[in-house]
């Protein structure tokens, strides 16, 4: 008896099994009654009408199924295929193949592609395999179908980089989850519309379903048939940082993005402008679409909306308001508003430094006047500089705290001042040298710096009397606007000017004594609380990682100040270590700047408490539906906003009022820069946040509410907007 080597025996067995598998179709069709031919058990249809994407559909007969993992797609010459998009199948344990996924009844797949220039046909082969799951339980061998489909217009290679790169195919590894199922047509996945805000400014908006995103740097805009006109550099909002397989580190936008674009040139004689927009985007974790180009005709005369796809309601722009107060009244508001700022919680920690400085001066008229003048110079200079920036850049008041680096730097300044007041470090003999090591010439630089710091931290505390003045400044000529800002600064520094130059007021101050050291240490704690508040603002801007980096910088700063004090009388070598530690403190701040913006609420999304995230499109939809809307423009760094929320907007009474009136509470978060919110503020000549506007259900003009809210004021406004009778007490 001849023995066969086990390896050869296994090989013969596998060969025999393969041969038997090859005969199964014949057996099934000839000898097994009722078993369908493979093309009837799995009917395949294909559609290539969407440029760049071929859609495949299998209709699966009852008692049959397809294997997900056995589907293969191969392109003919001149065609480049991307990764096929298949839905998740039913989990199944196969006795031969192990754990698999299968499809019953039907299944859809999409395959992205590009073809060579000039191609009119798309040729590819599709292989699949399935089984019959009841008696007779038979699996078909792999079956391949050859498809030849007409290529629609616009399905050629993307401009600028060849077939593969132009299509930018493949998974991109984003942290967001992609939606299951087939990819949408490009027109549905990336809906583009535009509106003319005025004759020189356009607003473009892309809207994407969940899981789709748009590349910022693959977007190009240009005007067609517009001699003498051009587009300024687009003002992109902050996006999501993304490590892309094809473009490297890039910025993308999910859900919705609004892009303001200015027209350069004279448009007075034009009724419309024609805009051509080219852009590219992807399905997260799935296909990337070829470069898309849309043409839009935008009405300049009536600011009527247009759309690059099907016509849809466009965002309604709120009407501009005229200046409501004259120059004289505005200056009175500004002076009184500046005075009120001295009592605001943003400014109080900084003013505690000034209080200590003034008390230290005792009864010396010269020192009191020196403190008053240099502090006032810092305040007035800062107000003039900030006012010039606001007027020149059309930036709303308080927008500087939208920059995380400035917020972090202010937090460290507050910490430094607190450590000085606690006695950890001294910057010189005069208490007016707080915040820097600039102590010299009787401390005048320190006083000036405190004035600057007071103005920087005052901006989030826009009080009820500052609103009308700043509103006037936004609508007035530049010279009048600068006068308003100067008067605001005069109001802020006026109490200290009076103390410095009016002896009767100075005599009311307590005499210097040992108690001053205790007072100084007590006043350190408001400085620490201010630093904590700024850290909280930073967390909402850049997330918890930013707070971690700020804490590292704070520890390094504390070490720097500790060594600065310890080495005060040491040699130059030891003193030089202070510079090294100070430079190390900057490193976490550099890393902080590179962090992506914390993800905002999805455009138009409804939060857990029923608040709707602001977008112009969503506001237009609600107004068209006859729904009264309460619009709240706020920011985490706005103290007045938070006070209104605590007193009125975050109460059960307000929520009950919304239910009674059928109104929607729409909230715009301006903690980070947002062009859509900025445009809304400018339309209502608002100097910043908070801004509250109530829109009636009949579609009338929005009613702007005061900066400081009361429950009765809000109830009256919403009741009128809803058209419901006002309840009266018997």
Confidence band (pLDDT; 50, 70, 90) for 211?
confident
What are the boundaries of each domain within the chain? 1-31, 38-156, 186-307, 327-593, 612-722
Identify the pLDDT of residue 221. 92
Confidence band (pLDDT; 50, 70, 90) for 354?
low
Give the tens place of pLDDT for each residue, 137-147.
788 888 899 99
Eight-class DSSP state of 288: B
Longest CA pairwise span in the chain (Å): 129
Angle in degrees, CA 660, 661, 662, rounded to 5: 95
* CA gap 567, 573 in Å, rounded: 10
Q: Are 341 and 458 in contact (CB under 8 A)?
A: yes
Angle in degrees, CA 449, 451, 454, rounded to 5: 110
Give the tens place of pLDDT for each residue, 78-136.
788 887 888 888 888 877 677 889 999 999 998 888 877 667 788 889 999 988 888 87
Q: Are 86 and 57 in contact (CB under 8 A)?
A: no
| Residue 511 exposed, middle or buried by CB count within 10 Å (0-12, 13-18, 19+) | exposed
Q: How far apart are the first and last CA of the chain?
A: 116
Q: Are 433 and 439 in contact (CB under 8 A)?
A: yes
| φ, ψ dihedrals at 719, nearest 5° | -65, -40
Tell me how far the alpha carbon of residue 263 is from its chain's centroid: 24
Identify the pLDDT of residue 304. 40
Beta carbons within 8 Å of 611's beta carbon, 6+ residues apart? 665, 666, 667
Q: Is the peptide bond before 629 cis (omega within 30 degrees of 0)?
A: no
Give the total residue count for the chain.
730
Confidence band (pLDDT; 50, 70, 90) for 458?
low
Do the domains 186-307 and 38-156 match in fold? yes
Give the tens place of pLDDT for each residue, 65-75.
999 988 999 88
* CA gap 177, 209 in Å, rounded: 12
More confident residue, 47 or 369: 47
| Range scoring the smallest mean pLDDT among 495-499, 665-669, 688-692, 726-730 | 726-730
Confidence band (pLDDT; 50, 70, 90) for 666?
very high
* CA gap 453, 351 in Å, rounded: 10
What SS3 class is residue 177?
coil
Identify the pLDDT of residue 358. 60
Residue 724 has pLDDT above 70, yes or no: no
Residue 3 has pLDDT above 50, yes or no: no
* CA gap 596, 598 in Å, rounded: 6
More confident residue, 203 or 78: 203
* CA gap 273, 196 in Å, rounded: 10
* CA gap 725, 208 in Å, rounded: 41
CATH for the stretch 186-307: 2.60.40.1250
Tell me how far the alpha carbon of residue 665 is from its chain's centroid: 20
Identify the pLDDT of residue 21. 45
Tell me how far the alpha carbon of residue 403 is from its chain's centroid: 13
Give the tens place of pLDDT for each residue, 364-421.
677 778 878 888 888 888 888 877 776 665 555 556 677 788 888 888 888 887 887 7
> Is CATH 2.60.40.1250 what the domain over 38-156 is classified as, yes or no?
yes
Angle in degrees, CA 262, 268, 272, rounded to 5: 70
Phi-psi sector, 285: left (phi>0), alpha (psi -120 to 50), beta: left
Give the DSSP H/E element, type plus range, for residue 517: helix 515-522
CATH for the stretch 612-722: 3.40.30.10
Tell me how far the alpha carbon of residue 709 is from its chain's centroid: 27
**CA nearest to 222, candidates 311, 302, 294:** 294
What SS3 class is residue 445?
helix
Cα radius of gyration rounded to whole Å, the chain: 34
Tell me how far the alpha carbon of residue 368 is from its chain's centroid: 47
In Å, what is the CA distance from 74 to each residue of 144, 146, 486? 10, 10, 72
Over the chain, what is the mean pLDDT? 75
Q: Are 373 and 366 in contact (CB under 8 A)?
A: no
| Range scoring the smallest mean pLDDT among 153-167, 227-241, 327-341, 545-559 | 153-167
| φ, ψ dihedrals at 126, nearest 5° | -120, 120
Identify the pLDDT of residue 706. 83
Identify the pLDDT of residue 629. 94
- Residue reference for tokens 């005969």: 23
Identify the pLDDT of residue 562. 87
Residue 726 has pLDDT above 60, yes or no: no
Residue 432 has pLDDT above 80, yes or no: no
Identify the pLDDT of residue 59. 93
Residue 7 has pLDDT above 80, yes or no: no
Identify the pLDDT of residue 695. 92
C-alpha torsion sign, points 203, 207, 211, 212: negative
Residue 158 has pLDDT above 50, yes or no: no
In Å, what is the CA distance from 90 to each residue of 101, 133, 192? 5, 14, 37
Torsion from C-alpha of 205, 206, 208, 214, nearest 10 degrees: -140
- Extended beta strands in 541-636, E state: 612-613, 629-634
- Residue reference for tokens 């699996």: 139
Query: Which of 36-45, 49-58, 382-391 is modeled with the greatest confidence?
Result: 36-45
Identify the pLDDT of residue 20. 42
| Residue 228 exposed, middle or buried by CB count within 10 Å (0-12, 13-18, 19+) | exposed
What percentage of the chain reaches a pLDDT higher than 90? 12
Query: Which of 21-30, 414-423, 564-573 is modeled with the greatest confidence?
Result: 414-423
Give the tens place of pLDDT for each residue, 578-633.
888 889 988 998 888 788 766 555 444 555 567 898 988 888 888 888 899 999 99
* CA gap 327, 482 in Å, rounded: 12
Buried b (16+ CB within 10 A) or exposed e, 386-406: bbeebbeeebbbbbbbbebee
**CA nearest to 458, candidates 308, 350, 561, 582:** 350
* CA gap 104, 727 in Å, rounded: 61
SS3 content of the chain, % helix, strand, coil (to 5): 40, 20, 35
Give the DSSP H/E element, type plus range, for residue 653: helix 652-661
* CA gap 395, 678 in Å, rounded: 8
What is the DSSP annotation of 430-451? SGGGTTSS---GGGHHHHHHHH
Give the tens place of pLDDT for each residue, 269-305.
888 888 989 898 888 776 777 778 888 888 886 554 4
Which parts of 159-209 fold into alpha helices (H)? 162-167, 186-189
* CA gap 411, 418 in Å, rounded: 11
Torsion from C-alpha of 557, 562, 564, 569, nearest 10 degrees: 180
């Amino acid at each position: 008896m001849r023995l066969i080597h086990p390896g050869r025996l296994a090989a013969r067995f596998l060969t025999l099994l393969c041969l038997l598998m090859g005969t199964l179709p014949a057996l099934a069709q000839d000898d097994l009654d009722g078993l369908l031919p493979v093309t009837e058990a799995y009917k395949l249809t294909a559609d290539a009408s969407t440029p760049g994407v071929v859609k495949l559909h299998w209709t699966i007969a009852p008692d049959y199924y397809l294997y997900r993992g056995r589907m293969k797609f191969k392109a003919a010459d001149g065609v480049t295929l991307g990764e096929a998009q298949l839905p998740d199948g039913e989990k199944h344990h196969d006795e031969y193949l192990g754990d698999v996924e299968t499809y019953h009844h039907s299944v859809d797949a999409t395959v992205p592609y590009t073809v060579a220039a000039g191609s009119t046909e798309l040729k590819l082969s599709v292989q699949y395999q399935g089984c019959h799951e009841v008696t007779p339980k038979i699996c078909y061998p792999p079956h391949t179908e050859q498809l030849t489909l007409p290529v629609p217009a616009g399905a050629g290679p993307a401009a600028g980089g060849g077939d593969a790169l132009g299509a930018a195919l493949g998974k991109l590894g984003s942290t967001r989850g992609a939606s299951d199922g087939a990819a949408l047509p490009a027109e549905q996945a990336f809906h583009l519309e535009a509106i003319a805000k005025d004759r020189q400014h356009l607003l473009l908006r892309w809207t994407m379903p969940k899981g789709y995103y748009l590349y910022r740097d693959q977007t190009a805009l240009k005007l067609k048939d517009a001699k003498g006109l051009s587009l300024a550099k687009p003002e992109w909002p902050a996006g999501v940082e993304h490590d892309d397989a094809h473009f490297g580190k890039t910025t993308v936008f999910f859900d919705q993005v609004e892009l303001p674009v200015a027209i350069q040139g004279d448009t007075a004689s034009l009724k419309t402008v024609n805009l051509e927009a080219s852009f590219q985007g992807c399905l997260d974790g799935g296909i990337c679409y070829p470069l898309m180009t849309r043409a839009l005709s935008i009405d300049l005369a009536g600011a009527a909306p247009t759309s690059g796809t099907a016509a849809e309601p466009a965002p309604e722009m709120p009407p501009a308001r005229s200046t409501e107060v004259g120059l004289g009244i505005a200056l009175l508001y500004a002076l009184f508003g500046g005075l009120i700022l001295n009592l605001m919680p943003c400014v109080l920690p900084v003013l505690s430094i000034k209080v200590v400085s003034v008390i230290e001066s005792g009864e010396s008229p010269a020192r009191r006047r020196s403190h008053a003048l240099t502090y006032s110079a810092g305040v007035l200079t800062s107000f003039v500089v900030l006012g010039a920036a606001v007027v020149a850049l059309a930036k709303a008041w308080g927008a500087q705290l939208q920059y995380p680096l400035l917020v972090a730097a202010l937090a460290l300044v507050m910490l430094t001042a607190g450590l000085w007041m606690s006695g950890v470090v001294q910057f010189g003999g005069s208490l007016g040298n707080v915040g820097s090591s600039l102590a010299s010439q009787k401390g005048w630089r320190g006083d000036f710096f405190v004035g600057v710091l007071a103005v920087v931290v005052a901006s989030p505390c826009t009080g009820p009397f500052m609103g009308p003045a700043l509103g006037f400044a936004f609508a007035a000529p530049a010279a009048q606007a600068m006068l308003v800002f100067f008067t605001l600064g005069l109001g802020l520094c006026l109490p200290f000017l009076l103390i410095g130059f009016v002896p009767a007021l100075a005599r009311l101050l307590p005499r210097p004594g040992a108690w001053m050291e205790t007072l100084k240490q007590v006043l350190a704690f408001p400085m620490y609380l201010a630093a904590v508040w700024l850290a909280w603002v930073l967390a909402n801007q850049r997330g918890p990682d930013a707070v971690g980096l700020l804490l590292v910088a704070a520890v390094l700063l504390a070490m720097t100040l500790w060594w600065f004090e310890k080495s005060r009388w040491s040699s130059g070598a030891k003193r030089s270590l202070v510079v090294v530690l100070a430079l190390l403190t900057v490193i976490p701040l550099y890393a902080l700047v590179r962090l992506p913006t914390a993800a905002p609420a999805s455009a138009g999304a409804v939060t857990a408490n029923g608040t709707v995230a602001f977008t112009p499109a969503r506001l237009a939809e609600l107004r068209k539906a006859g729904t009264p809307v309460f619009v709240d423009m706020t920011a985490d760094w706005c103290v007045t906003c938070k006070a209104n929320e605590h007193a009125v907007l975050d109460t059960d009474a307000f929520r009950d009022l919304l239910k009674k009136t059928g109104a929607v509470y729409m909230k715009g978060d301006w903690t980070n820069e947002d062009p859509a919110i900025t445009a809304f503020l400018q339309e209502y000549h608002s100097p910043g946040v908070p801004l509250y506007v109530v829109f009636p259900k009949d579609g009338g003009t929005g009613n702007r509410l005061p900066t400081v809210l009361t429950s009765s004021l809000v109830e009256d406004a919403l009741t009128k907007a809803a058209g419901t009778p006002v309840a009266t007490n018997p």
